[in-house]
């Protein structure tokens, strides 16, 4: 059902356009959005690469932008980073239009493109110093460079030429240049591309740490990256925003949880609880283990309370792991009907 | 934001300074020009006793300094494309252009920063070469007015060439192709009126387009506003094209 709804949201209807539809079913985040994309479209070489995109990014969260190649992820990130102006629509940072206030990009945004923009002939320290000054840091440049070198664990290579660094360190230097000026918004285009598993794990840790005090947007087509690092996920397909949800339980119409009761339950017991929209057994041999769909507006605490009150008890209760891969693949398959068939 | 241009220029300068290419190029240019200077000086010293008996005889400025600077202006046509070729094409090739594009720095400021950095290097070469004839001032009298006019002409000439080099560098992601196209374009500007001159036409619009029409008066000691304006226009137009091209690159830069 979740997958079907995701695909329905991918149709070119106004309801599909923004985070508004799917987000309405999520708990409201009290933090005001730092970056807001409103009805943003971008045409490149006569083709509309991004279509009527509405998206909000809040401070303290990592938003994962998923999509197959050509879905419009990099173009979206370029627009968000201040590199490429939208053809229509507006991008606001803290309420101010990004493209009417280009100084905002300089101060407030850090951007790591898919290939880190490095100068191989300079040392790490020299390069980061230039990046800091480019983003408007003056006298505090040396301290900022020291801080970011420490944060990105680059102390051992600070005086080495960038051209002599390994892929993992180059990626770290790329992240360092994006955050050296302590931007409010960090935009990362496939930060783990080409890294080995150890480097990938370290990079995820670094990205998670960035969320403290920053709004972070990263694009990837590596699903574990999203599940490991991102609080929210947005899926783009053919330039259109198809799906936005929290990674913990990306359902669009309520909350999905797994519950193990103390006593066995029958399917007909659930309607008597008057709490679940639906419940399906997870194991035919274990009548205590269920996937429960709680409708919109119902708090999760109501479920164990009702189960205990009716004497079924609760041994285990946890959010349903994201069926993100299924959703992603279903959306991607929509791009290629032959495969979907 | 105002400091972005000098910052980029200084950074460009720094990047040139740490590359062997820039040092080797400077060494080769200085060695070549020093060799020419010594040959011209030896010839002048050989001729000097005979020149002394002539009325209004040409001096060391006419026979050593100006020919050296004129020869250097020809070398600049080959040299400047090599210096400017990596300014933007190199950034594209190493995928580092987004660093500047995402820095909130306008296209014009990026282009002027790149241009200033490359021009600074070329001006240093001009100063090194100019130091040779100027050193003769210790032992003889030089026509300093004419020398300064020639140096001003050289700087303006170099400015136009660097701007053309940056423009060509913005047009391709291959530095070698940028250098070749800049050399072709400046060569075209150098000989655009050659056919007309062979037919005795030397004061038409086609002559105005040619680079030699405007650099030669400086070597004769004439600083005419028409020549200054020509070089400034070429510089401005080339940089405007480069900035326009950079705007297009924003949609594809990785």
Question: Does the structure show a pLDDT above 80 at A333?
Answer: no
Task: State the ipTM, two decimals.
Answer: 0.85
CA distances, A185 to each of A63, A121, B216 (Å) = 11, 28, 55
Q: What is the mean pLDDT of residues A96-106?
A: 78
pLDDT number for residue B125: 96
pLDDT number for residue A5: 47
| Most A CBs within 10 Å, among B7, B10, B104, B175, to test the A interface | B104
Q: What is the mean pLDDT of residues A3-9?
A: 46
Shortest distance between the Cα of B68 and any Cα of chain A, in A, equals 34
Higher pLDDT, B55 or A30: B55
- The CA distance from B73 to B181, in Å, is 19
CB A109 within 8 A of CB A187: yes
Residue pointed to by tokens 């045409």: A43
DSSP structural state of residue A123:
B
Q: What is the mean pLDDT of residues B73-87?
A: 94
The two beta strands, A185-189 and A109-112, are parallel
Higher pLDDT, A214 or A129: A129
Alpha-carbon radius of gyration of chain B: 20
Order across the sheet with A215-220: list the strands. Answer: A109-112, A185-189, A215-220, A62-66, A232-237, A240-246
Q: Do B98 and A111 touch (CB under 8 A)?
A: yes
pLDDT number for residue B70: 95
CB A50 within 8 A of CB A75: yes
Q: Do B102 and A133 touch (CB under 8 A)?
A: no
Q: Six-digit token pair at B166?
A: 């940056």
pLDDT number for residue B27: 96
Shortest distance between the Cα of A89 and any Cα of chain B, in A, equals 16
Higher pLDDT, B148 or B142: B148
Question: Does the structure show a pLDDT above 60 at A19?
Answer: no
Contacts of A102 in chain B (CB under 8 A): 1, 104, 106
Residues A169-197 as b/e (b if ≥16 CB within 10 A, e otherwise) read: bbbbbbbbbbbbbbbbbbbbbbbbbebee
pLDDT number for residue A322: 53
Question: Does the structure show a pLDDT above 50 at A6?
Answer: no
pLDDT number for residue A244: 85
Q: What is the mean pLDDT of residues B8-33?
A: 93
pLDDT number for residue A248: 61
Closest Cα in chain A to B10: A130
Residue pointed to by tokens 């040619």: B210
pLDDT number for residue B236: 97
Q: Do A117 and B99 touch (CB under 8 A)?
A: yes
pLDDT number for residue A11: 41
CA A320 to chain centre: 18
Mean pLDDT of chain B: 91
CB A93 within 8 A of CB A184: yes
pLDDT number for residue A24: 37
Q: What is the mean pLDDT of residues A40-55?
A: 89
Q: What is the mean pLDDT of residues B52-77?
A: 88
CATH 3.40.50.300 fits A2-116+181-246, yes or no: yes
Least confident range from A6-15, A157-166, A224-233, B102-111: namely: A6-15
Closest Cα in chain B to A161: B18
The backbone torsions φ and ψ at residue A243, rounded to the nearest 5 degrees and listed phi first, read: -160, 130
Least confident range from A51-65, A77-91, A212-226: namely: A212-226
Q: Do B250 and A83 touch (CB under 8 A)?
A: yes
- Count Cβ–Cβ pairs < 8 Å, chain A vs chain B: 82
Q: Do B1 and A106 touch (CB under 8 A)?
A: yes
Q: Do A115 and B7 touch (CB under 8 A)?
A: no
- The CA distance from B81 to B187, in Å, is 11
Question: Is the CB of residue A107 less than 8 Å away from at least one CB of chain B?
Answer: yes
Please state whether the predicted TM-score (pTM) of the whole model is above 0.80: no
Higher pLDDT, A161 or A136: A161
- The CA distance from A164 to B98, in Å, is 21
pLDDT number for residue A326: 72
Contacts of B18 in chain A (CB under 8 A): 121-122
| Most A CBs within 10 Å, among B19, B102, B175, to test the A interface | B102
Contacts of A164 in chain B (CB under 8 A): none
Mean pLDDT of chain A: 80
Higher pLDDT, A147 or A31: A147
User: Torsion angle, CA of A204/B251/A73/A59, rounded to 10 degrees?
Assistant: 60
Question: Does the structure show a pLDDT above 90 at A25?
Answer: no
Q: What is the pLDDT of residues B225-236, one digit of tens each?
A: 999 999 999 999
pLDDT number for residue B169: 96
Question: Is the CB of residue A74 less than 8 Å away from at least one CB of chain B?
Answer: yes
Least confident range from A86-95, A270-279, B148-157: namely: A270-279
Task: Closest CB to A44: pick one of B15, B103, B251.
Answer: B251
Higher pLDDT, A274 or A64: A64
Shortest distance between the Cα of A111 and any Cα of chain B, in A, equals 7
pLDDT number for residue A277: 72
Closest Cα in chain A to B97: A117
pLDDT number for residue B2: 55
pLDDT number for residue A225: 77
Question: Is the CB of residue A129 less than 8 Å away from at least one CB of chain B?
Answer: no
Closest Cα in chain A to B93: A117
Q: What is the mean pLDDT of residues B152-163?
A: 97
Q: What is the pLDDT of residues B175-203, one digit of tens each?
A: 999 999 999 999 999 998 888 888 887 77
- The CA distance from A21 to A32, in Å, is 18
Q: What is the pLDDT of residues A159-172, one digit of tens each?
A: 999 999 998 899 99
pLDDT number for residue B153: 96
Furthest CA-CA distance within chain A: 71
Of A80-84, A223-227, B168-172, B206-210, the range with the highest mean pLDDT is B168-172
Domain boundaries, chain A: 2-116+181-246, 254-319
Give A254-319's CATH code, choosing from 3.10.620.30, 3.30.70.1560, 3.40.50.1820, 1.20.1510.10: 3.30.70.1560
Instruction: Return left, alpha or beta for B131; rule: phi > 0 is left, psi -120 to 50 is alpha, else beta.
Output: alpha
Q: What is the mean pLDDT of residues A312-316?
A: 90
Residue pointed to by tokens 């300014």: B87
Q: What is the pLDDT of residues A180-194, one digit of tens each?
A: 998 989 999 988 877
Shortest distance between the Cα of B82 and any Cα of chain A, in A, equals 18
Q: What is the mean pLDDT of residues A272-282?
A: 81
pLDDT number for residue A33: 81
């Amino acid at each position: 059902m979740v997958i079907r709804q995701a695909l329905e949201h991918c149709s070119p209807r106004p309801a599909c356009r923004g985070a508004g539809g799917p987000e309405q079913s999520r708990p409201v985040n009290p933090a005001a959005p730092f970056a807001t994309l409103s009805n943003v479209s971008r045409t490149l070489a006569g083709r509309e690469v991004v279509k009527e995109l509405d998206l909000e990014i809040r401070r303290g969260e990592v938003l994962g932008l998923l999509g197959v190649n050509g879905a419009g992820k990099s173009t979206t990130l370029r627009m968000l980073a201040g590199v490429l102006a939208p053809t229509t629509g507006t991008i606001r940072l803290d309420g101010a239009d990004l493209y009417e206030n280009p100084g905002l990009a300089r101060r407030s945004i850090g951007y790591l493109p898919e290939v880190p923009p490095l100068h191989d002939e300079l040392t790490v320290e020299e390069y980061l110093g230039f990046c800091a000054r480019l983003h408007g840091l003056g006298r505090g440049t040396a301290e900022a460079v020291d801080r970011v070198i420490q944060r990105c664990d680059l102390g051992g290579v600070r005086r080495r030429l960038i051209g002599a660094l390994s892929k993992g360190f180059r990626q770290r230097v790329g992240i360092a240049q994006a955050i050296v000026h302590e931007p409010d918004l960090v935009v990362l285009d496939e930060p783990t591309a080409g890294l080995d598993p150890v480097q990938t794990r370290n990079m995820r840790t670094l990205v998670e740490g960035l969320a403290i005090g920053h709004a972070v947007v990263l694009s990837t087509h590596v699903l574990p990256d999203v599940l490991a690092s991102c609080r929210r996920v947005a899926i783009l397909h053919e330039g259109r925003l198809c799906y936005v949800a929290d990674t913990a339980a990306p359902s669009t119409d309520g909350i999905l949880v797994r519950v193990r009761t103390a006593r066995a339950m029958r399917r007909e017991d659930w309607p008597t609880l008057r709490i679940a929209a639906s419940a399906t057994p997870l194991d035919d041999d274990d009548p205590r283990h269920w996937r429960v769909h709680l409708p919109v507006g119902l708090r999760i605490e109501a479920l164990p309370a009702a189960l205990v009150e009716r004497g079924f008890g609760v041994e285990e209760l946890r959010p349903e792991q994201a069926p993100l891969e299924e959703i992603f693949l279903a959306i991607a398959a929509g791009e290629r009907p032959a495969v979907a068939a | 934001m105002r400091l972005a241009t000098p910052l980029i220029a200084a950074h460009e300068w720094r990047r040139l300074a740490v590359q062997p290419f820039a040092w080797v190029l400077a060494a080769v240019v200085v060695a070549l020009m020093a060799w020419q200077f010594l040959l011209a000086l030896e010839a002048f010293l050989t001729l000097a006793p005979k020149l002394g008996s002539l009325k209004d005889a040409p001096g060391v400025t006419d026979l050593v300094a100006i020919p050296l600077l004129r020869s250097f202006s020809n070398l600049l046509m080959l040299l400047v494309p090599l210096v400017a070729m990596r300014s933007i094409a190199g950034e594209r090739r190493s995928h580092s252009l987004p660093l500047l594009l995402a820095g909130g720095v306008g296209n014009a400021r990026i282009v002027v920063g790149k241009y200033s950095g490359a021009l600074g290097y070329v001006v240093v070469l001009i100063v090194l070469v100019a130091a040779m004839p100027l050193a003769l001032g210790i032992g003889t009298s030089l026509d300093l007015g004419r020398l300064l006019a020639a140096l001003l002409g050289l700087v303006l000439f170099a400015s136009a060439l660097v701007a053309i080099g940056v423009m060509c560098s913005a047009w391709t992601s291959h530095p070698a192709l940028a250098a070749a196209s800049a050399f072709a374009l400046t060569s075209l500007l150098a000989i655009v009126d050659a056919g007309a001159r062979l037919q005795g036409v030397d004061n038409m619009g086609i002559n105005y387009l040619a680079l030699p029409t405007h650099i030669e008066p400086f070597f004769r000691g004439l600083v005419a506003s028409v020549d200054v304006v020509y070089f400034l226009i070429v510089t401005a137009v080339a940089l405007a094209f480069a900035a326009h091209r950079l705007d297009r690159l924003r949609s594809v830069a990785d």
